[in-house]
Amino acid sequence: MNQAVDNAVIRQSLSLVDLARPLIGDLQKKIDALFTKEEICAFDKLILTGCGDSYIAGVAAKPAFQKLAGLAVDALPAPEVAYNYNNSKFNYGKTLCIGISISGKVAATAAAMEAVHPYGAFTLGITENLEAPLAQHVDRVLKHDSPEAELAPGTATYFTSVMTLLLLAIKMGEVKGRICAEQAEAYREGLAAYCEAFRPHIDEIIAKAESLGKKLAPCTHYDCVGSGLDYASAWFARAKLYEAIGKVTAVENTEDWCHVNYFARNPQNIGTIVYVTASSPAKYRCIEAMQNMARLGRPTVAITDVCQSEIPAGIEVVSIPTAAESWMAPLMQFMPLTLLCGYLQNELGETPLRGITESPWGDGDRNCIYADQSHQIEIVMDREKEGK
């Protein structure tokens, strides 16, 4: 591995290939013991919710649950579930609501669990923290050991959340009899193989990320673009750029990008990251969007398994392996971007997440991003009592 620059997000990004198989082994044991067959067979609707990376992990896994487990799936930000979704006329019977939170400390995610539970939803928390509010407000907990690393734009954590959800989708499909045991095992192997397929390309991806770090560092803003299955990685890219270098970054689906972000002034200063998989039904619209990006003179990068010859001239391409199944792609397609974030941090001398507790982002020792832990949960419970 020819890696001259080293920092926490680069280390995390490069650890994922080796992490995959042991993680699958550990998670599978936990998932096998999580539900009875009767419980799994009873669920016909699924709500995936969380905040930040944990919300988008649900969006990334939604297609797997739809396809493999045959569930009707919503993937929603936690405040949507906590404050807008708890319609007391709604009967959640047969609904599984999964709250995803690495820390378990995001109050809105615990509040979402409280909002749906009284109406019959079965609530599951996926977290690494059994002591935090999420684990205290669910019917069941799936605790993983997300590799808690140094302060960095969370990368191995997101990988763990997505992996957990994809394995759970496979398990539910198997138990519901929609896929046979051999197919379920082949899918698990497919996840490991997809991660492994990155290994021979790592040096090439590192070299590309390093040169793109230099090219994109002077940009004043960034846009992250993707449609359908690729949207989750675009959204995640936006979050990581904020965390890594603190520059204003937008995320948009490809169609809306062509109608909205397209008009931004000073396009030469807007670094643009495009996610498009070769099997995406939005592929040709993405290619058209990239033609526009190139014409505008935007510094644009496509992270893609689409053949380079199909990508418009003027667009930088980071080539990544193709996943065996389209729903597997979000598991690793973000990786070149988190690597790029490491190089951007290095170019700009940035501290990830502005040091979290450093003023004005922190307040003394206090990490200001978390709400008062009990407050938001109480709001939901009070609304319920008032019948709102």
Ligand X SMILES: N[C@@H]1[C@@H](O)[C@H](O)[C@@H](COP(=O)(O)O)O[C@@H]1O
- What is the length of the chain? 388
Contact positions with ligand X (CB under 6 A) in 243-262: 243
Distance CA 95, CA 114 (A): 14
CB atoms within 10 A of CB 72: 12
309-328 binders of ligand X (CB under 6 A): none
Among 103, 304, 345, 376, binds ligand X (CB under 6 A): 103
Q: Which is nearer to ligand X, 140 or 354 (CB)?
A: 354
Q: Is 51 in the site for ligand X (CB under 6 A)?
A: yes
Coil vs helix vs strand at 148: coil
Q: Is 368 in the site for ligand X (CB under 6 A)?
A: no
- Judged by CB under 6 A, the stretch of 26-34, 63-71, 104-112, 294-302 that binds ligand X is 104-112
- Site for ligand X (CB under 6 A): which residue of 20, 81, 98, 102? 102
Cβ distance to ligand X smaller for residue 106 or 209: 106
Interacting span for ligand X (CB under 6 A) from 100-108, 171-179, 190-198, 217-225: 100-108
- CB of 49: closest distance to ligand X in angstroms? 10
Distance from C-alpha of 357 to C-alpha of 91, rounded to nearest angstrom: 43
Interface with ligand X (CB under 6 A), residue from 63, 154, 173, 330: 154
* Distances from the Cα of 38 to the Cα of 41, 123, 150, 172, 363, angstroms: 5, 16, 41, 11, 49
Query: Which of these segments, 31-39, 96-104, 291-299, 300-308, binds ligand X (CB under 6 A)?
Result: 96-104
Q: Which of 108, 89, 1, 7 is nearest to 49 (CA)?
A: 108
Give the Cβ contact number of residue 338 at 10 Å.
Answer: 28
Distance, in Å, from the CA atom of 64 to the CA atom of 60, rounded to the nearest integer, reads: 8
Residue nearest to ligand X (CB): 52
Shortest CB 283 distance to ligand X, Å: 29
Least distance from C-beta 134 to ligand X, angstroms?
A: 8
SS3 state of residue 132: coil
What's the distance, CA 354 to chain centroid?
21
Q: Which stretch binds ligand X (CB under 6 A): 98-106, 177-185, 229-237, 255-263?
A: 98-106
Which range, of 79-87, 102-110, 201-209, 325-333, touches ligand X by CB under 6 A? 102-110
- Rounded Cα–Cα distance for residues 141 and 4 (Å): 41
Residue span binding ligand X (CB under 6 A) among the ranges 27-35, 105-113, 191-199, 322-330? 105-113
Side-chain-side CA neighbours of 335 within 13 Å: the count stands at: 28
Residue from 54, 227, 304, 326 in contact with ligand X (CB under 6 A) = 54
51 vs 206 by CB, closer to ligand X: 51
Under DSSP, is residue 307 helix (H, G, I), strand (E, B) or coil?
A: coil
**Contact, 340 vs 272, CB < 8 A?**
no
Tell me the Cα Rg of the chain.
Answer: 21
Check residue 106 for interaction with ligand X (CB under 6 A). Answer: yes
Binding stretches for ligand X (CB under 6 A): 50-54, 101-103, 105-106, 109, 154, 243, 369
